[in-house]
Amino acid sequence: MNILYSFPRVSWDNLRHDFSAGLVVFLISLPLCIGIGFASGAPIVSGLISGIVGGIVISLISKSPLSVSGPAAGLTVIVFDSIKTLGNFND
């Protein structure tokens, strides 16, 4: 399977709109990633890293041109309990 067939046709107009949409999504999800990292007891940077890596991974493996990914606030309790049980990164 050739990976180039899965990409839509790229034009400057599409790129301009995709960049502005990506910037808006980034600015909206940034405080959410920081808040979830802080609320779960992990370092704040880990919330940012998980948001960035999750966005990149989903955009690479998704076949939909309209995929939306982001942090799930419902997992905060599970991550907090896991860090409390297993220990944090600084120990």
Q: Mind listing the pLDDT tens digit for each residue in 31-83?
A: 888 888 888 888 888 888 888 888 888 878 877 777 777 777 887 888 888 88
Q: pLDDT confidence of 5, banded at 50, 70, 90? A: low
Q: What is the pTM of this model?
A: 0.65
pLDDT tens digits, residue range 26-36?
888 888 888 88
Q: What are the respective helix, strand and coil percentages of the chain, to the nearest 5?
A: 70, 0, 30
User: Beta-carbon neighbour count of residue 29 at 10 Å?
Assistant: 20
Q: 13 CB contacts (<8 Å, ≥6 apart)?
A: none
